[in-house]
Structure formats: C-alpha cells, structure tokens
Amino acid sequence: MYASDQRVEPNPLNAIRLLHASPPLPPTTLPADPRTPAEIASAACTGAANSWHCLAPRAKMLAAGPSPTNPPSWSVPNWYIDPGNATGCASDSNSGTSATCGASGVGPLLTKAQLLVQRWGTPSPTLRSSVTVEWLSADASSTSDPGTFGPVYAGGALTLVAAFPAPSFTGTLGTVTQADEAPDGGVGSELESTFVATTGAVAGNMLISNTTHLSRAWAQRNMGSGVWQISQPFTPYTPPFGFGSLTNTWTAGDSVSGHVPLSINIAEIFGPGLVILADMTTASVFTHISNYEFLAAESMLAGVVASSDVFNMENSIAPGTGRPAGLSLLSGAILGGYANVYSNTGMSAGYNAILVGTNQINNFYTYHTAYLDNGALLEVSGLSSNVEEGALFGPGTLDILEGSFQFSEAVDTPIYSPILLNGSSTGNSMVITDGGTIVYAGIPVNQTTWSAPAGPNGFGRYAFYQGANLVYGVHP
C-alpha cells in the first residue's frame, strides 16, 4: 500500500511487519519541500473553497484561476498546535506552520478545530505527501477540543506527535542489572536500576531518557529498595518515520531524565490511511482507532479501543483500558518493547515487551523475547508460537487454554516462565510403539520434564492436557 515511499534501513518494526507481508515504512528522511516558508504559510491559510483564514493579508494574485481540487492546506508538511499557549502567541489566526512566533501571523494554531474544520475543511484530507501535526503543549482536559483524524492515503502518511516535555526528574543511573533473557536457572529478569536523583523523583510509567547512551525506556515499577524495573531501551523516535532500534548499553553513572508525555485529546483515528502517534498520552475519555494501519511510538495509549487492520506499538504502553481488537487485556497491560495486532486475528509481542496483569490473547506469537511480570498471567488460545529465536521469560505464568503453542526448531529452551496446560500444572505425554500408543498422565510441566524423553517422567517436547498442547516442531 505504501509503495511510493520505501524505508532504507532495517529496524525491529519493519522486521516484524515482514512476517505479515506488510510493506516497509516510508524513508526516515523525506525530501525537502521546494516552496519557501512564505509560500507554505500561504498554503496553510488557504482552506476549502479557496477561503482565507489568517489575520495576515492575502497576497494579491496576478490572475484568478480555478480553485484547486484539493485545498492548498492539504499539502502543508508541518503543522503546530499550542492549546496551552506555551509560546505566548498561539492563535487560530496564525499560519500554523511554525513552532515559534514570527512576523505577519506566522506561528502555531490554538486549536485542533481550526486545522480540521477551517484549514483542511474535513478530518479526511487526501495526503499525497506525508504530513506531521505537532502539539507544543497539553490539552486542558480530556474533553476539550477533541481531535478526529481520518486521512486518505495517496502517497503520504499522517504523524501526530507531541513535543518532548520538560523533565520531571533528573539524575543518574545507580546500580544497573542488565536483562537476563536466557537464565541458566530461574526465570530471568528485565533491565533493573536504582536512580540517584538531582531533581524530582522517578515515578511509574515515566519515560526515562538516557543522554549518555542515547535511548529511552519506561520506568515500569519500583521493585523495592529503590530498584526499578525498566523496559527495553530504544533509540529515540524521530518524526515521521525514524523508529527506534534496541540499545543494551545502560550503565551506572549514565545521565538520565524522566518525562511524562503530554496529554492530547485524540477522540478518533479512522480511514484508509497510515497514522503514526508519538510522544503523547491519549487524554480522551474514549479513543477509537480504526484506520487501516496505526503505529504508536513512545506513547501512553490510555482509553484506547482499536480495530485497525494493522495495529503496532513500539516502546509504548497500553494500560488496562487500552486494548487493540483481538486482545483482551482485562486488568493487564503491555509496556515497552513491541506489539502488533494484525487483521484482528492474532497478536505478536517481542523485544522484551513487559506483560502485566492478566492478558488473554488469541493466536499469540513471540518475536525475540517477551517478559511476564511478577503476578502476570498470559492466557493464550488458538495457534500460538515462537516465530524467532528467543523466549518467554519472567516470573509470570503462561496458561495455554486451548489449541497449540508451537516452537520452531531454532528454539531449544522456549519458556523460562511457569507453564500451565488449561489451568493445570501437570500434563500428559505420549509414546507411540509398534504395540500402540501409551499416554502417561500427571507429569509436572517444567523445563526438566519438557526436555526429558517421552514417558512417565518426561514429555519429549510434546505435552498436552484437555485440548491444550505445548509442541516443539512438528506435532507427533
């Protein structure tokens, strides 16, 4: 669908997209707009039916011509909205094409309504080139100036991004323990660290920015004694298509700061377009996302219900109230790493995504690794599998309710977390002989019995119980 733009470098997001035959993302760096800033500002002021919406006078034209099929405002590459008037000059009579105050009404808009109703004249502009809308300050409340975006893809994507906020905490990393994704014993651990505060304090669901080793991750929870569990660090997202890559170099003494993404009232995202949402907290009481393809980066998706054909999250949080279609989070959440829901038929999670609370997922796929947090319960059904070398790890529990959880032959030790088969900690093994098939019941499910030869004390890498199957390679 996005053949007009081709991404030029690999990243985790594109690697997983290939699993679903999705096209690569557009290039990180887009070609420069050949128009002058004044020409772009003039286009931004020209709405539907060639109407003028700026305080600055309209430039005289040598000759009148027919109105363009699409308003010139649809071609403006960058818009800025400042609902809290942090700049001191925000106005719906401005051009909306600058994040700073300039002469002749050049500066940010005050409201989304001015962009959607007056400039675009519709929430569904046809985008022939990529457009970025950036918020410079937070919305006043979860009900003020709701934003509804439904772009039509014609070669360009829509990026909705908030300015990176001022830090609520500054300091350094204290004692750092790297993630243990493949433990020799036990269940492994995520990245952990203490913090030495200079100003403020670390809080849960705070986005931590490491300026020594340029990357960002979420402070997930305080594990006690000032030790915080931290999600997988990624290099910072850069609009519009600069998605992060994994970083595993956090060390004691690194300079860090903590940030709470700005709250922006996004009420709905719909239509046949590609929409990216980044560096914000969705502040609407209810946000419905149903466009063709949606991607979130470094964001808190609060209050979200989604039914997009392709729904992606990288280094983001979907709390208990935010659940893509096909995924019932219940009291659970997915934090950091990567998650994907494809055509509402299955979900993949990886790159050390942290699963918290109770998550029910049909057709679940692990890509690289996923971490089941303390007390977490991952209930899967349908056909689930590990699709790339890696493992589920952590103290939480995997419960295969029905269907099969299958591992490729590249995965020798598929799960370090506790495993249940339809709620049972024991399962059955099967031995096929010339004389018939022998089933052995009541065998505890653990790594030792999983790898042991099939019989009364082992599964031979095939365990089953009441419709639930744990399978290595091909089903016996």
Segments making up each domain of the chain, as ranges = 12-59+71-164+262-313, 169-259, 351-472
Domain 169-259, classified CATH 2.60.34, yes or no: no
Both tokens of 108, joined, read 């940010």
CA–CA dist 101, 90 (Å, integer): 8
pLDDT at 350: 83
Question: How far apart (Å, rounded) are the C-alpha atoms in residues 299 and 306?
Answer: 15
What b/e readout covers 74-96, taking b as 16+ CB neighbours within 10 angstroms?
A: bbbbbbbbbbeeebebbbbebbb
pLDDT of residue 10: 39
Distance CA 248, CA 238 (A): 19
What was the pLDDT predicted at 406?
83
Compute the distance between CA of residue 12 and CA of residue 323 in angstroms, rounded to an integer.
22
Question: What pLDDT score was predicted for residue 310?
Answer: 78
Structure tokens at 106: 């050049």
Q: What tokens appear for 4 in the block?
A: 């007009």
* pLDDT computed for residue 94 by the predictor: 96
Going through 245-314 in order, the beta strands assigned E by DSSP cover: 255-259, 262-264, 266-269, 274-278, 280-282, 287-289, 293-297, 304-306, 310-314
| Residue 322: per-residue pLDDT | 43
Alpha carbon distance 123, 47 (integer Å): 13
Q: How many CA atoms lie within 13 A of 165 on its CB side?
A: 22
pLDDT, block means (10 residues), the chain with 476 residues: 31 54 59 88 91 86 55 95 96 96 91 96 93 96 90 91 97 95 79 98 96 96 95 91 89 98 94 92 80 89 76 82 45 72 73 86 82 90 73 89 79 75 96 92 91 92 93 67
What HEC string does 87-126 produce? CCCCCCCCCCCCCCCCHHHCCCECCHHHHHHHHCCCCCCE
Radius of gyration of the chain (CA): 25
Give the Cα separation of 61 and 65 in Å (integer).
Answer: 9
What whole-number distance in Å separates Cα of residue 118 and Cα of residue 393? 51
Q: Let me know: does 351 contact 367? Beta carbons within 8 Å.
A: yes
Q: How far apart are CA 313 and CA 352, in angstroms?
A: 13
For residue 326, give the amino acid letter: G
Distance separating alpha carbons of residues 40 and 60, to the nearest angstrom: 16
Q: Do residues 171 and 199 lie in contact, with contact meaning Cβ atoms separated by under 8 Å?
A: yes
Q: What is the number of other CB atoms lying within 10 angstroms of the CB of residue 177?
A: 14
Q: Residues 156, 131: contact at Cβ < 8 Å? A: yes
Phi, psi angles (nearest 5°) of residue 78: -140, 125
Matching residue, tokens 């071609």: 75
DSSP-derived 3-state class of residue 19: helix
Instruction: Name residues whose C-beta falls within 8 Å of residue 244's C-beta, 6 or more positions apart in sequence.
Output: 11, 12, 215, 216, 234, 235, 236, 237, 297, 314, 315
- Through-space distance between the first and last CA atoms of the chain, rounded to whole angstroms: 40
β-pairing, 227-230 with 266-269? unpaired
DSSP, collapsed to helix, strand or coil, labels residue 274 as strand
